[in-house]
């Protein structure tokens, strides 16, 4: 039970750090591009965020299933 809680906390921390890092990268790119490219960068940023979120949730679920 304790291991499951620790894994869940680590997943949340990893996701938060990844999101912060990705936001910084997207901010740097926005300085150099025109508005329509900024829109494309924003769309791709959120798509990547969805993929990372789904991957993180999937990994946590798989780990919890293997524990149980």
**Alpha-carbon radius of gyration of the chain:** 16
Judge if pTM exceeds 0.85.
no
Overall domain count for the chain = 1
Q: Which residue has the tokens 């039970």?
A: 1
pLDDT in tens, 24-67: 776 776 666 666 667 777 787 788 888 888 888 888 888 888 87
Q: What is the pLDDT of residue 34?
A: 67
Domain span at residue 17? 2-67
CA-nearest of 51, 47, 42 to 15 is: 51
């Amino acid at each position: 039970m304790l291991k499951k809680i620790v894994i869940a906390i680590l997943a949340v921390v990893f996701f938060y750090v990844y999101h912060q890092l990705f936001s910084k990268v997207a901010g740097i790119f926005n300085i150099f591009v025109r508005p329509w490219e900024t829109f494309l960068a924003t769309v791709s940023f959120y798509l990547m965020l969805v993929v990372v979120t789904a991957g993180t949730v999937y990994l946590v679920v798989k780990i919890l299933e293997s524990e149980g």
